[in-house]
Structure 1
Amino acid sequence: MNELFEKRPKKLCIKDIEKLYIEYDKQSDTLYIHFADPEEEAEEAMLIGDNIVVRIRDGEILGITVMEFMRHVEQQ
């Protein structure tokens, strides 16, 4: 277990904010925030909150997915 934790990067980054692409799927109520090509494969996906997933590869954040997006907005 400690070995897996040590392999996880201490800091995550967004390599190029200029590649930012946001899309919303109204039917599934899901917001996708991409910081790289949406087709790029992630090494890891981490659930970081209530239906919020971060896709990561080599310490770089590839994207964030927010499921049940309108519920999150209404809570604010």
Structure 2
Amino acid sequence: MAEEVKKIVNAIPMLLNFPAKRFHVDYDKEADVLYISFERPQKATDTEVTDEGILLRFRENKLVGITILNASRFKVKA
């Protein structure tokens, strides 16, 4: 339990600087996909895919979510 708390505490600076005040994060470990939603439900109407395999989800011109494929490749190296 202490290790889990330490990981969360270490993430606080990043979370405080996150570009959205409210967001939801879900991770599907089996599929290795990280979902970040700025609105729930997203109700996205368009998706752009970056070269890095990141899906930017839009409703009209507003970014409502990000889907990161193969998310584990972004792990912090110890």
Q: Does TM-score exceed 0.5, indicating one fold?
A: yes
Deviation above 4 Å: which 4+ runs of structure 1? none
* Corresponding residue for residue 67 of structure 1: 69
The answer as to 2:53 corresponding to 1:29 is: no
Q: Which residue of structure 2 aligns with residue 40 of structure 1?
A: 42
2:54 pairs with one of 44, 52, 67: 52
What 5-or-longer segments of structure 1 have no aligned partner? 1-16
TM-score, scaled to structure 1 = 0.65
Give, in whole Å, the separation in 2 of the partners of 1:74 and 1:51. 18
Number of residues paired by the alignment? 59
Amino acid of the structure 2 residue aligned with 1:36:
E
RMSD: 2.2
Distance 1:18 1:29 in 2: 25
Distance (whole Å) between structure 1 residues aligned to residue 35 and residue 42 of structure 2? 14
Q: Distance in 1 between matches of 2:60 and 2:22?
A: 17
TM-score for the superposition, normalised by structure 2: 0.63
Higher relative contact order (CA 8 A, sep 6+): 1
